Structure 1
Amino acid sequence: MFERILIVCVGNICRSPTAEFIFREKLKHRDIHVSSAGLRALVGRPMDDHAMQILKERGIDAAEHRARQLDPAMLRQADLVLAMEREHLSAVSRMAPEASGKIFLLDKWHDADDVPDPYRQSRQMFEHVHGMIERGVESWLRYL
């Protein structure tokens, strides 16, 4: 059903790449392409050190990631677009109104909470956000 999943946050160095690499790990035996991008991406930058270290501790290597800027073509090509915050849903819908029917919160199947941005915060905050992202990813797996 879904062949291309796109995950969106702001800078594309913390939340969306974390979700991207968790999805990739969970879906590694399926033919589903997962990518991420940012609304105001820090283009070309690797993942935040805390985010990358937490993934590494769980056996996921995200060293290849480089932040990229979201554009309307990415939204049109994706079958499913998952955003971290309600504000992102609105921004993405404005960027590509024709994609609005396939844009959802990562946490849709739980409390539909926003996943807070841990950028420039403590390792503890990154751990908390990582847990929220894992929960969101897990909740989507049955629909893929």
Structure 2
Amino acid sequence: MAEVLMRHALQQQGINAQVVSRGLAAPAGRSPHPFAQATANHFGLPLDPQKRSAPVNLVDFQAATVVLVMDQGHRRDILQRYPQAGGKTFLLRHWNGGHDLADPLHAPETVFREQWPLMQEACTEWATRLLQAGMLAKATPNP
């Protein structure tokens, strides 16, 4: 869900940037959780039906400008496996109180829906901050 929300936040600000979602433990090739799909549809930003999970790897970290994670446990795991990602790995809600967002994988759909606005607010804030910091730029229109 955060991937589609970040894409939307960037698009809303006229920023053309690649957004990639990876997992620490997700099995490769799994489709999005049905509750994540239902939640995204409910809020009008459907997930790509062709989206499949993929494990994170060193190349992802080398290519990334910023790595956003849901909770401190994920951040700790990343830093243990990929210490070179330390300076660019942050909580998704870093600018919104720095609170963790628990993985709702085994939770009811209501938890997914409760997390949507929190993720949306965080993605919007990140897009704004990255633009202000000059780490991302607005797309230039074609003449």
Task: Please say which structure displays the higher CA radius of gyration.
Answer: 2
Amino acid at match of 2:35: H
Question: Take 2:33 and 2:96, find their aligned partners in 1: how far apart are those partners?
Answer: 26
CA contact (8 A) 2:66 2:89 kept: yes
User: Structure 1 stretches of 5 or more lacking a match?
Assistant: 1-17
For these two proteins, the number of residue pairs brought into alignment is 127
Amino acid at match of 1:42: P
CA contact (8 A) 2:75 2:90 kept: yes
Moved over 3 A (4+): none
Amino acid at match of 2:128: R
Alignment match of 1:68 (pick from 54, 77, 97): 54
TM-score under structure 2 normalisation? 0.83
Does 2:81 match 1:86?
no
Higher relative contact order (CA 8 A, sep 6+): 2
Query: In the alignment, what sits opposite 1:99?
Result: 85
Alignment match of 1:44 (pick from 6, 29, 53): 29
Question: Take 2:73 and 2:108, find their aligned partners in 1: how far apart are those partners?
Answer: 23
TM-score under structure 1 normalisation? 0.82
User: Structure 2 stretches of 5 or more lacking a match?
Assistant: 131-143
> 1:40-60 CA distances to partner (integer Å, 9 max, x unpaired)?
012111111111111112222
CA contact (8 A) 1:41 1:70 kept: no
More strand by share: 1
